[in-house]
Structure 1
Amino acid sequence: MAILQLEDGTIYTNLAEITRELAHLNIQLKRCPVRKNLELPGLLEQDILNIVEKEQVLAAVSNHFREVKRSAGYMWRDLLVLHPGSFSLYALITHFDRCHIHTDDEALYILAGECIFGFVRPDGSQVELIVQPEEYINVPGGTEHWFSLTASFNIKAVRYFTTAGGWTPHYTNTEISFRQSVAKRSKGDRELGL
């Protein structure tokens, strides 16, 4: 379940309330359960996936791709697989963990792990959203945001694209003044109430 925290400390975990808070940014956040597939849970538990295994995961969620392709015009997708030992993990984090915009939408379907999106709202205030497994998020092009991982540094997510360069970050130099403390803890710590 997604978690949204405002600068004043207010936390929302109800999808309807989160959607209401993000509505003025036109951000879509949906719960999209993964269809039952006997191979998928084992694949999602692995840190490393080879190309054949990645294709198996993508095939298992192909219905979602057909849906977003039809509704939003996405042309292709890939599977983002990051874990603490990933070669490019820290480069990716530093690349997107600054305020930026994209020309295209940034759309992710989280299958395992979790990530953090921070947003700058029109009034200049900032919020952070933890997106968790079986959630789909679409951040419209031109929306000022940042992206990071939670303390677990684990994620498997389908990324959807309309153009080759659409996800290139264009940095805005807006200072991130807010980082929610809940985002810095791992999912396991939050589940234990720590």
Structure 2
Amino acid sequence: MSRLTVYRDDNPEQVLIDVSSPGEIAEILKPYHIRFERWSSPVTPEKNASPDEVLRVYQPYLDTLMGETGAGSADVVCINADTPNLSELRKKFLSEHTHSEDEVRFFVHGEGLFVLHLRGRVYSVLCTAGDLISVPAGVPHWFDAGLSPDVVALRVFTDKTGWIAQYTGDTIADRFASNF
């Protein structure tokens, strides 16, 4: 189940907000221009479907989304226990960073934690299968696929070179480490 937990950025123990309704999550994130939606699809590909099959199943959604965002490409990322160089990949995603374009993700299977650092607060968004999140360019964040990852997600890019991070150098992600 999706969940949003908000903390002060100087106190990972103090919960300010904790909600699990997709509508409430969307409303709380909306002032920051973060898009959060729950999609339902009449067809969901098998967990072990090829990336091409996942893209085919979601093509109608992608066409609409890419038209709205001006995105130029989409791909599928699968992160699980068999992912090569998993510990290095996890470390890369767990460091606070920004992007020069919006980061758009749709969770096909599994779950992942998008953590946003906004105006003295940390917004921890647990995204599950069926969730779409779009984080605007320049928003500091990190991503946690978990200690035992098992996630399949669509990624949408404007820049066809794909995922490029600009690391902030802030160690806040270390202070808000999860046991997810």
Shorter-chain TM-score bucket reads 0.7 to 0.9
- 2:102 corresponds in structure 1 to 105
Q: CA deviation at 1:96?
A: 1.6
Structure 1 segments unaligned to the other structure (5+ residues): 186-194
Structure having the higher strand fraction is: 2
Partner of 1:93: 90
The offset of 1:165, in angstroms, is 4.4
- 1:190: which partner in 2? none
- Matched residue, 1:192: none
Task: Work out the CA distance in 2 between the residues paired with 1:89 and 1:24.
Answer: 34
Match of 2:58 in 1: 61
Match of 2:27 in 1: 20
Q: Is the 8 A contact 1:103 1:166 kept in 2?
A: no
Query: CA RMSD, aligned part only?
Result: 1.7
- Structure with more of its chain in helix, by fraction: 1
Deviates more, 1:126-135 or 1:160-169: 160-169
Answer yes or no: is the 8 Å Cα contact 2:72–2:160 preserved in 1: no
8 A Cα contact 1:112 1:133, kept in partner: yes
Aligned residues: 171
Aligned-partner Cα distance in 1 for 2:88–2:54:
25
Kept after mapping to 2: 8 A contact 1:105/1:166: no
- Counterparts of 2:139 and 2:109, CA distance in 1: 25
**Residue identity in the other structure for 1:21:** I
Q: After TM superposition, list the pairs within 5 Å mapping 1:2-41 onto structure 2.
A: 2-7=2-7, 8-9=14-15, 10-36=17-43, 40=45
Contact (CA 8 Å) 1:102, 1:142: kept in 2 or not?
A: yes
Aligned position for 1:178: 176
- Same amino acid, percent of matched pairs: 23
Q: Is the 8 A contact 2:99 2:139 kept in 1?
A: yes
Scaled by the length of structure 2, the TM-score of the pair is 0.87
Aligned residue for 1:189? none
Q: Secondary structure at the match of 1:158?
A: strand
TM superposition shift of 1:88: 3.3
Residues 80-137 of structure 1: CA distance to partner in whole angstroms, max 9, x if unpaired?
A: 0111121032222111211110001110110001111111112x22121110001111
Residue of structure 1 equivalent to 2:10:
none
> CA 1:179–1:91 in 2, change beyond 3 Å: closer, same or farther?
closer
Contact 1:12/1:18, CA 8 A, preserved across alignment: yes
> Following superposition of structure 1 onto structure 2, how do residues 129-144 of structure 1 map, counting pairs within 5 Å?
129-144=125-140
CA drift at 1:166 = 5.9
Q: Which residue of 2 aligns with 1:83?
A: 80
After the TM superposition, which of the residue ranges 136-145 and 3-12 deviates more from structure 2? 3-12
Summarize deviations over 1:19-56 as a string: whole Å, max 9, x none: 2221232110101112226xx2xx31x3xx5xxx2211
Number of the residue aligned with 2:145:
149
Letter in 2 for 1:67: T
